[in-house]
Amino acid sequence: MPEPLLSTSQLCAWYGDFQALFDLDLMINEGEIVAIIGANGAGKTTLMHSIAGLSINKPHQVIYRGRQIGALRADQVAFEGIALVPEGRQLFASLTVEENLVIGAQTGRKGDWQLPTVYQLFPILQERRTTPATELSGGQQQMVAIGRALMANPDLILLDEISLGLAPVIIKTIYAALPGIVEGGMSAMIVEQDISKALAVSSRFYCLQEGRVALEGQSQTVQRDAISRAYFGVQK
């Protein structure tokens, strides 16, 4: 079996005295889409932040391409080729749409994703390129957030609730763009509240519950009632 692209081992996370993640072991292979599901407060965002370096761990708790990156800062992780599309989009308000995209390429990593390709993926952004980013509609802002992460030409993209608060038709547009994004070999970890959506686009999933992996498996074959139990913590 080939070595995974990224794995965590016994990953823990704390907010002060409150422990949000408990000994998480999970992994993602090259070119794979993995879904992370779980109820509100399960620890999905915390997991993404730990991988991206926004919270610092012990070095061996996150392994990427065989290297221990658990203790790297977020800017160092970015240079390694991991990009996060943060929950709630978090665009830079003082930057235009185009500047938000360009700053995504700050690491200088080479690849197919550049301004023209991002504009091809989301043409509306080209029309609005000189607008301050936070003046766009929610859906368009989400496109900027995704485009900004793509501009880094990452090998692994972390997508945290990209459909949060968006109209169904916009969600459809954004998810329609996903195959084009991963066809180049990029791996993706997707956090999503909408379970069927998450399972439909992924090959494997992890279901978190109160900071622990309650269930993991193949997205296409998993039984719905198994997920409900893991999701809501209903005892058998």
Partner 1 sequence: MIWINALLQGILLGGLYALFAAGLSLIFGVMRLVNIAHGDLIVLAAYLGLSTTIVLGLHPLLAMIIVIPLMALLGYILQRGILNQTLGDDLLPPLLVTFGLSVIIQNALLEGYSADPQKMNVGALETASLSLGSLSLGVLPLLTFAIAVAVIGSLHWMFYHTALGRAFRAVSDNQDIAQLMGLNKRHVFGIAMALSLAITGIAGILLGVRTNFDPSIGGARLIFGFEAVIIGGLGNLWGTLAGGVILGVAQTIGAQINPGWQLLAGHLAFLIVLAVRPRGLFPRMTG
Ligand X SMILES: Nc1ncnc2c1ncn2[C@@H]1O[C@H](COP(=O)(O)OP(=O)(O)OP(=O)(O)O)[C@@H](O)[C@H]1O
Q: Which is nearer to ligand X, 38 or 81 (CB)?
A: 38
Query: Rounded to whole angstroms, how far apart are CA atoms 205 and 105?
Result: 29
Q: Which is nearer to partner 1, 95 or 124 (CB)?
A: 95
Residue 209 binds to Mg ion (criterion: CB under 5 A): no
Answer yes or no: are the C-beta atoms of 100 and 91 closer than 8 Å: yes
Strands (E), the chain: 6-15, 18-28, 33-38, 62-64, 67-68, 82-85, 156-160, 187-191, 204-209, 212-218
Q: Which stretch binds Mg ion (CB under 5 A): 36-44, 145-153, 164-172, 204-212?
A: 36-44
Query: Rounded to whole angstroms, how far apart are CA atoms 127 and 119?
Result: 9
Residue 45 binds to Mg ion (criterion: CB under 5 A): yes
Nearest approach, Cβ of 131 to ligand X (angstroms)? 28
Q: Which of residues 40-99 bind ligand X (CB under 6 A)?
A: 40-46, 87
| Number of Cβ atoms within 10 Å of the Cβ of 69 | 20
Q: Which of residues 66-125 bind Mg ion (CB under 5 A)?
A: 87
Q: Which of residues 156-175 bind ligand X (CB under 6 A)?
A: none
Residue 183 binds to ligand X (criterion: CB under 6 A): no
Alpha-carbon separation of residue 183 from 30, 43, 74, 95, 177 (angstroms)? 12, 29, 26, 30, 10
Q: With CB cut-offs between 5 and 8 Å by kind, which of partner 1, Mg ion, ligand X, none does residue 83 bind?
A: partner 1
Query: Rounded to whole angstroms, how far apart are CA atoms 79 and 93?
Result: 24
Burial of 152 (0-12, 13-18, 19+ CB in 10 A): buried
Q: Which is nearer to Mg ion, 38 or 147 (CB)?
A: 38
Q: With CB cut-offs between 5 and 8 Å by kind, which of partner 1, Mg ion, ligand X, none does residue 200 bind?
A: none
The two tokens of residue 231 are 């999701």
Pattern 9-28, ligand X, x by CB under 6 A: ------x--x-x--------
Q: With CB cut-offs between 5 and 8 Å by kind, which of Mg ion, partner 1, ligand X, none does residue 204 bind?
A: none
Nearest approach, Cβ of 34 to ligand X (angstroms)? 15
Q: With CB cut-offs between 5 and 8 Å by kind, which of partner 1, Mg ion, ligand X, none does residue 38 bind?
A: ligand X
Answer yes or no: are the C-beta atoms of 5 and 187 closer than 8 Å: yes
The two tokens of residue 129 are 């390129």
Binding site for Mg ion (CB under 5 A): 44-45, 87
State the residues that interact with ligand X by CB under 6 A: 15, 18, 20, 38, 40-46, 87
